[in-house]
Structure 1
Amino acid sequence: MIRVVLVDDHELVRTGFRMILAQQAGIEVVGEAADGEHGLALIRSELPDVALVDVHMPRLSGIELTDRVRKHKLSTRVVILTVVSEAPFPRRLIEAGASGYLTKGCAADELVRAVRQVADGRRYLSPDIAEVLALGALDGGESPFEVLSARELDVAMMLARGQDMQLIADKLKLSAKTVATYKYRLFDKLGVDNPVALAHLAHTHGLLDDRTRALSD
């Protein structure tokens, strides 16, 4: 039996994935969490074979959670959940110890295939993300966002989407002062000085779609 936990702050995503996996022989969903901190605690207590983990979450990002699972030498294998526009991040997550990278819009059979493949000790990359990695290698370049820490990356994406400082602080369970520190640090690393410039840079490197960019302009 493949034991799975779901870690995502969107209840609808968890519900959809749970319903798909519940229909599969040999797969059991043994727990769910709505943020990274509780997700890590759940992984430690249940020691599932596979954890499906959202990349952007309150309290603890998917990157940080994956890194801690690796550092604590837990047996759980992590599959990161994301959307296609966030595809520039697979290299960072693989380095952190992720075993798979799956888009939230994947078909049901791809979700099941990814879970079984990762539980079997192999890696899984969705075709869209594998293409991004291959093209990045051919171009010989990396996204400037690769230099950011996991939490800086969370703050950067929220700022790029037009969210204000207090909302970011509330979502990440941080003080406004701490968020401001992350903001100025990531601005310095990326060479930008305002959220609009950050949004344009994120769009250029495929992190925002045209509609989200328009909202940020």
Structure 2
Amino acid sequence: MSGSMLPIRVMLVDDHPVVRAGYRRLLEQTGDIAVVAEAGNGETAYALHLEQAPDVCVTDLSMPGIGGLELLRKLLARDASVRVLVFTMHDTPQLIARALDGGACGFVSKQADPEHLVAAVRAAHAGRRYLDPHSAPDVLQGAARLEAQRLSSLSQREFEIFRLLAEGRSAADCARLLHVSSKTVANHQTCIKEKLDVPGPAALVHLALRNGVIEHVQPNA
């Protein structure tokens, strides 16, 4: 790694200290990744994330207290630009799809070869989605097709409001920029949420990023 390049700052979340130690060694031997925080449960992970602001959060799903999916939801609700990578033994297509739909930027099975975790961290840091080959690539391809179909169902006005909202604009901003009433924007927002099947603002932003509707996230959007 060039001396001018900062390492990718990672937080590891897993309730087994020995497992975390192994992953720390794996990641840090690359030279371009540094583990800056570790947590054994979701509550601690959320607090540490606020304190350390890592580039990538690598989390297991099954932990005491709040699990990885709830941690994902809480982190993205606070900041839609957070990058969370799910790394778990539980790699059913349903869980993979749920994690990706919830805004995870990647999913790696603990049964996959170790280099896939390293590749996933680098991909997440670069803003790319990653799914290891072990975790049924057709899940990712199917999700992409479904997202494309949902996006194509938006009207031109709905798509423009979707783009503005994903950029971090408020409903009032949308109304002003498009010269329509706030009520009209609110009605379109409801239709957009239903058509895209997004649970909240963070998932909407990540859908827009994945499909090239926007190029980056405004801070605290």
TM-score range, shorter chain: 0.5 to 0.7
Kindly tell me: are residues 23 and 135 of structure 1, through their superposed partners in 2, closer, same or farther at Cα, counting changes over 3 Å? closer
1:123 correspondence with 2:129:
yes
Kindly tell me: are residues 84 and 54 of structure 1, through their superposed partners in 2, closer, same or farther at Cα, counting changes over 3 Å? closer
Identity of aligned residues (%): 40
Query: Separation in 2 of the partners of 1:87 and 1:16?
Result: 26
Query: Separation in 1 of the partners of 2:9 and 2:30?
Result: 12
1:64 correspondence with 2:70:
yes
The equivalent position to 1:14 in structure 2, one of 16, 20, 23, is 20
The equivalent position to 1:42 in structure 2, one of 27, 38, 48, is 48
- Segments of 5+ residues of structure 2 without an aligned counterpart are 1-6, 147-221
> SS of the residue aligned with 2:136?
helix
Kindly tell me: are residues 58 and 84 of structure 1, through their superposed partners in 2, closer, same or farther at Cα, counting changes over 3 Å? closer
Kindly tell me: are residues 135 and 111 of structure 1, through their superposed partners in 2, closer, same or farther at Cα, counting changes over 3 Å? closer
> SS of the residue aligned with 1:41?
helix
> SS of the residue aligned with 1:89?
helix
1:101 correspondence with 2:133:
no
Query: Separation in 1 of the partners of 2:125 and 2:140?
Result: 24
> SS of the residue aligned with 1:66?
helix
1:59 CA drift (Å): 1.2
- Structure whose CA Rg is larger: 2
Aligned amino acid, residue 93 of structure 1:
A
1:104 CA drift (Å): 1.3
What is the correspondence of 1:1-217 to structure 2 with a 5 Å cutoff? Answer: 1-73=7-79, 75-83=81-89, 85-131=91-137, 133=139
**Alpha carbons 1:47, 1:75 under 8 Å: kept:** no
- The runs of at least 4 consecutive aligned structure 1 residues that moved more than 4 Å come to 134-137
TM-score, normalization: structure 1? Answer: 0.58
**Alpha carbons 1:47, 1:74 under 8 Å: kept:** no
1:132 CA drift (Å): 5.6
- Segments of 5+ residues of structure 1 without an aligned counterpart are 141-217
**Alpha carbons 2:12, 2:35 under 8 Å: kept:** yes
**Alpha carbons 1:81, 1:103 under 8 Å: kept:** yes
Aligned length: 138
Query: Separation in 2 of the partners of 1:136 and 1:84?
Result: 19
> SS of the residue aligned with 2:87?
strand
1:8 CA drift (Å): 0.4
Query: Separation in 2 of the partners of 1:135 and 1:29?
Result: 31
**Alpha carbons 2:12, 2:20 under 8 Å: kept:** yes
1:135 CA drift (Å): 9.1
Aligned to 1:146: none
